[in-house]
Structure formats: structure tokens, C-alpha cells
Amino acid sequence: MNTKRREKITLGAGCFWCTEAVYVRLEGVLSVKSGFSGGNINNPGYMEVCQGHTGHAEVCEIEYDTKSISLEEILEVFWIIHDPTSLNRQGNDIGTHYRSVIFYHNKEQKKVAEQSMNLANSSGKYVNNIVTEISAWKNFYPADEHHNQYYEKNKNQAYCKFVILPKIIAFKNNRK
């Protein structure tokens, strides 16, 4: 049985602005940090990652209270807020840095992630198979500060209205 109260999971569901905007609204989530993970260079910048040569994905490092929310619940939201059947793209955001990925931090998280993906794949919700990568966490590099709380700071921008807000609404509608 897990006796720790705090754990981290690192998730890539396309644009990290979208992912963060949803997870900060989830009860039991303690913090959400936008950044990059899974690549092969240290301390990449946003422009380097966007060029697609670093191997990093845009991710959110999510710290949560295991007494308030389970990893299964966090992953249920993950499957709702993006298209896990779309390889290296989410909508108009295209490239390996927008891939669907779960970076697990321990063996138990790997097991839960695999079970969750199998459940989502067999749910009948998706026409195509899920292509989400499940990989061991090896690094996390925070994005520049202006990327954090992007939606909250820029709600009136077109990307926020037409891309991020629909994901927040889908999250809220599926949590009732």
C-alpha cells in the first residue's frame, strides 16, 4: 500500500499550456509545472524543443496528494483531454514534441499507466488504437516562467479560447 502522500507523474498530452490548464483544476493536484522531458540534451530551450531535434516532449510535471486523488483518476483525465490515437500531433500542433506520453517515476506507476491505457484502448471510445508512449522518467526541465499559468494569464488570446478552453470544458463535462 502506498503510504506516501506526495507523488509526481509527468504527462505529455500535446501543448503543455492545455495540459496545465486542466490539471490545475483537479482536486488533489498540488502543483503543475510546464516543461520538457524525455529528450537527449540538457536544459533545452523552448525553440530548440519546437524544432524537434532534442527528443523532448512538452510535458507537465504533476505533483499530487495520493490521499486525495489516485493515479488512476489522474490518468482518466489524461485520456479525456487529448487524442491519444494521434501520433506526434494534437490538432494543429504537430511534431514529436507534442506526442502523447506518460513518463512514470516508479514501477507501480508503470503498471498503473499500462493498465489505464489498456482500459482506455478497450473502452470503445477510440476508432484507432492508442499510440501513447509509456516510458521511464529520466529528466524534467522547466519551461521559461511565461509558459506557466499561460491560460490564466492569457484567456482572451485566440489559442486559449479555441484550443485550451474546449479541453477545460471537456474535462468539466466528463467529471460530473
Residues in Cβ contact with 176 at an 8 Å cutoff, skipping those fewer than 6 apart: none
Q: How far apart are CA 18 and CA 93, in angstroms?
A: 11
Q: How far apart are CA 150 and CA 15, in angstroms?
A: 11
Angle between helices 16-23 and 165-174 in degrees, nearest 10 = 40
Asked if 18 is an active-site residue, the reply is: no
- Strands 133-136 and 100-104 turn out to be parallel
- Catalytic one of 15, 18, 60, 160: 15
| Burial label, 173 (beta-carbon count in 10 A; 0-12, 13-18, 19+) | exposed
Per-residue burial over 52-75, b if 16 or more Cβ lie within 10 Å, else e, is: eebebbbbbbbebeeeebebebbb
Residue indicated by cell numbers 485566440: 158
- Residues marked as catalytic: 15
